[in-house]
A and B are shown apart, each in its own frame.
Chain A
C-alpha cells in the first residue's frame, strides 16, 4: 500500500462573509479563512486509511502563501506531511489549469494508493477539480463517496451518493474519491497534533520545481475567462404577515394558489 493523499482548499468562511448593503458586494475584509468544509471529511478519511494501513497521510493545497495555515490545521488533525503548491505563475488558474498543476505536483511528490478530495469547494462550487485531477493522472474515480465499505491494497468497494439513493461500486487502486459529508465525522485536532503542526515544515512546490508546460499554467493556461462580475438582482423585500395565524394562512394561500398546479 502506498501513501494516502488529500487535496484541500482554503476558502473564506461563509458564515463570516457580510454583504455591503449599499453596493451589495461582499465585504471580504477581516473574513477568516477556513479549510473548505467538504475537505474536512476528506482529511478525516485519509487519516482513517493511514491508520488502517500504517502508511502516511499527505495533504496538498494550491493557493497563495497564506494557505499554509490550512495545511497546518490538517497536520494538527493527524496529517503527516504537507505540500503547498504556490507560485505567482499559477494566479488566475481555472479548473483546467488548477487540476493540471495539482496533478503535476502529485506526480512530483510520489505514488499514492488513494487520493481524496472534497465533493466541491464552498467558494467556487464547481466540483470539477477532483475529476480533473483523476483525468490528468489517468486513474479511475468515484465522486460523491458516502462510505468506504471495504478496502484492501488492490481494490475498494464504496457507496456513491446519487439523487435517488446510492450505488455500490468496486474500483481498483490507485484511484481518486471525492467525498460527501455523510462519510464520517471529522476529528478535532489533538493537543499533540497542534504542537506538532506548529513546528511542522510545509514543503513548497513552485513552478520551477514542477515538470510543467508554462503555457498550461495560471491565466494563460485557463480556457475560461471571467468577463464580468456583477451583483445579483436583490430580492424585493417580502411581505411578512404578523396577523393571527388563520388570517395569515388565508392571505398566503390566496397569494400562492395560482402558482401551484
Chain B
C-alpha cells in the first residue's frame, strides 16, 4: 500500500484530540493511545493537523502533472429560453476577483441558439472573453451536446479554472465534463479563493450537512473545477465600458448529436419565485395544520416578494408540492431571509436552510430546535403572528 496513515506509539500522548476531529469516526483510543481503523479512514488528514505532537504520519501519493500553461478563469453561463441565469452573474462576480488575483482573463462560456446578443451583456458583467457556440441543438439543455461542446472548448483553450452553477443543469453537465477531461470537481463551494503561494484554487464547501467545512484543492490537474449554488456570491456589477471580445466557435455536426430528446418543457412553479433563487423564503411546516392555511404564508410572501418553502412534513401530508420542499430530501437553499412558520426544525430540515443569512422562527413550542439556528424567533401562535407580520411589513415597506 502506497498510501497510509501511521500513528507513532512513542509520540502519541493519548490526548484524544485526533479522535475528536476525525470526521469519519476512524480513530479511537486503545490502551491510552490513538489507533486508526483503516477501513473507515479516508486519509483526509484532519487528524494530522490536529495532532500537537507530530505523532501522525500520512503518506499520500498522487498522480497527475499540473499543466502550467493553463490560463484563464472560466464561467459556464447557463441560459434558459435565451435568458442568462442569475447564478452565472454571481459566478462572474467571484470569477473576476479570482482572475484579478491570478492576473488571468475572465472568460464566459455561452451555449445556446440565437443567443449571440447575450455575449455583450456578459462583457458588461466584466468578462474579458466570451466563447459562444450557437446551434439549434443547444437551444435547450441536453447532456450530450452541451458536454461535447464544453469539453472541446476546454481542450482547445486550456483554462486553469472552470466554475459552474450548482443548478439541476449545471450538476448534470459539469460532472460529465470533469470525467471526460479527467480532472477534479468540487461541488457546492461556499468559498473560493487563490492560494497566494502556489496559485491553487482553494475550494471551501460544507460537508455532512454543514456540520463541518472542508477546503479542497485540485493540485495536479487543470482545470480546477467547482460548482457554486445560487446566492452564495454577489453578482458582478454592470460596467458598460468594460471591454471584451467575443469568440465564436463551431464544431463538426457529430458534436451536437444528442442521444436524449426533449419532448416537452412544463413549468409548474405555483408561486412566482423559485425557491433556489429567492432572496426571501417563507416556509411552512406541520404547524400550518392544513393546506388551506398556506394562504397566510402566500399573503406574507406577496408583501415581501418571497417564495414559498415547505418542510418535508407538509409535503408528505400533501399540503405542498415536492418542488417546494426544503431539506435533506428536498432542496438546499440559502436566501437572505428564511422565515420558518410552524417548522420544528428537525436536523433534516436544518441542513437544507441553515446557511441562510437571517433565519426567523415562529413556533408555539419554545423548545423547538428551529430556535437554535434562528437569528430572531417569536414564540407564539403563528395564526395570530403571520397575519400581523403581513400587516406590519405592508405598512413599514409602503406596499
- Interface residues of A, Cβ cutoff 8 Å to B: 12, 14-15, 17, 19-20, 23, 25-26, 28-29, 31, 37-38, 64-66, 88-89, 91-92, 94-96, 99-100, 122-132, 134-136, 140-144, 146, 157, 160-172, 180-182, 215-216, 218-232, 235, 238-242, 245-246, 248-250, 252-257, 259-260
Report the minimal beta-carbon distance from A40 to chain B, rounded to whole angstroms: 9
Distance in angstroms between the alpha carbons of A220 and B25 in the assembled complex: 22
Q: List 19 other contacts, CB 8 Å, given A17-B347, A125-B187.
A: A15-B346, A91-B38, A128-B178, A131-B171, A143-B168, A163-B274, A164-B267, A164-B268, A167-B140, A170-B261, A219-B61, A229-B212, A238-B359, A238-B376, A239-B377, A241-B379, A253-B393, A257-B396, A259-B337
Residue with the highest number of chain A CB atoms closer than 10 Å, among B38, B144, B209, B260: B260
Kindly report which residue of chain A lies nearest to residue B28, judged by CB atoms. A29
- Interface residues of B, Cβ cutoff 8 Å to A: 1-3, 20-25, 38-46, 49, 60-64, 80, 140, 143-144, 147, 167-169, 171-172, 175-176, 178-180, 182-188, 202, 206-221, 259-269, 274, 276-277, 280, 304, 322-323, 325, 328-330, 332, 336-337, 346-348, 351, 354, 358-361, 366, 371, 373-381, 384-385, 388-389, 392-393, 396-397
Check A241 against B376 for contact (C-beta < 8 Å): yes
Check B347 against A14 for contact (C-beta < 8 Å): yes
Distance in angstroms between the alpha carbons of A123 and B209 in the assembled complex: 7
Q: List 7 A-B contacts (CB under 8 A).
A: A15-B347, A127-B175, A135-B180, A140-B260, A229-B207, A238-B375, A260-B337
Residue with the highest number of chain B CB atoms closer than 10 Å, among A123, A230, A257: A230
Kindly report which residue of chain A lies nearest to residue B183, judged by CB atoms. A223
Distance in angstroms between the alpha carbons of A15 and B350 in the assembled complex: 11
Check B323 against A226 for contact (C-beta < 8 Å): no
Q: Which residues of A contact B336 (CB under 8 A)?
A: 259
Report the minimal beta-carbon distance from B299 to chain A, rounded to whole angstroms: 14
Residue with the highest number of chain B CB atoms closer than 10 Å, among A31, A216, A231, A260: A260
Q: Which residues of B contact A245 (CB under 8 A)?
A: 378, 380-381, 384-385, 388
Distance in angstroms between the alpha carbons of A153 and B357 in the assembled complex: 49
Q: Which residues of A contact B214 (CB under 8 A)?
A: 226, 228-230
Kindly report which residue of chain B lies nearest to residue A213, judged by CB atoms. B63
Kindly report which residue of chain B lies nearest to residue A40, judged by CB atoms. B329
Shortest Cβ-Cβ A-B pairs, 7 listed: A223-B184, A28-B25, A131-B175, A224-B184, A165-B268, A140-B259, A126-B187
Check A240 against B221 for contact (C-beta < 8 Å): no
Kindly report which residue of chain A lies nearest to residue B178, judged by CB atoms. A96
Check A250 against B392 for contact (C-beta < 8 Å): yes
Q: Which residues of A contact B276 (CB under 8 A)?
A: 163
Kindly report which residue of chain A lies nearest to residue B45, judged by CB atoms. A226
